[in-house]
Amino acid sequence: MENRNELFKAIPIFDSGLKDEEIRLFSVGHKEGQGLVDYLYGYAEAEEGNNLMRTYIVRDVKTDEFVGYFSLKAGMISINESKVNNVDTFDTMPGIELANFAINSNYIAEHNSMKECGKIIFNELIIPIIKEVSTKVGVRLIYIFALPLESLIERYKEYRFKRLTSEQEEQLHKRLKPQYDEGCIFMFQEL
């Protein structure tokens, strides 16, 4: 199933025709984002095949260039943590994790006018997929573990993501933060 708008299309990785050369040429703007490159090269197809994550390759509709990719998976977060009779208790909230989201720096270098393509991809490709899922299963929020770069945190705030209070964030990180996301910042938005 392909999801598209006028500029970009998102195609499941196995249907995308992604070539090894395209993966080798894929790069991100910050060295802290190298894990996103490594994930695409070494883990995306295996996790797709094992139903751990869905990875979508984003291509330019007109040129078919490799613009970027994103990965989604089902999840939950814990809220309202407390101790009752010396036992940790909490509620859960179902969500979809935007586990990976990366734009190809080489594409941006070639198409300088597309610097805001991440926002287009998020609003016109990612959100519709999540809304479609939410018609079939319970989904209350979208969440991410963002790299701790102030410019990236601010960009996600522009996408309507919020942060928890410091105390809530610390509690959530203790309970749910994957090792892959070590050092990252939890952010969310409600549907």
What is the domain extent for residue 149? 3-190
Look at residues 104, 98, 95 and name the one whose alpha carbon lies nearest to residue 159. 98
- Amino acid sitting at position 185: I
Question: How many domains are there within the chain?
Answer: 1
**30 near 149, Cβ under 8 Å?**
yes
What pLDDT does 137 receive? Answer: 95
Token code pair at residue 140: 């209350």
Q: What's the CATH number where 162 sits? A: 3.40.630.30
Question: Of 73-82, 85-94, 121-130, 144-153, which one has max mean pLDDT?
Answer: 121-130
pLDDT tens, position by position, 114-160: 888 999 999 999 999 999 999 999 999 999 999 888 999 999 999 99
Confidence of residue 167 (pLDDT cuts 50, 70, 90): confident
What pLDDT does 82 receive? Answer: 75
State the burial class of residue 46 (Cβ atoms within 10 Å of its Cβ: 0-12, 13-18, 19+): exposed
pLDDT tens, position by position, 6-24: 899 999 999 999 998 998 8
Alpha-carbon Rg for the chain, nearest whole angstrom, is: 17
What pLDDT does 63 receive? Answer: 95
- Amino acid sitting at position 59: R
> For the whole model, what pTM was predicted?
0.90
Token code pair at residue 147: 């790299």
Share of the chain above pLDDT 90, in %: 62
Q: In the predicted model, what is the mean pLDDT of the chain?
A: 89
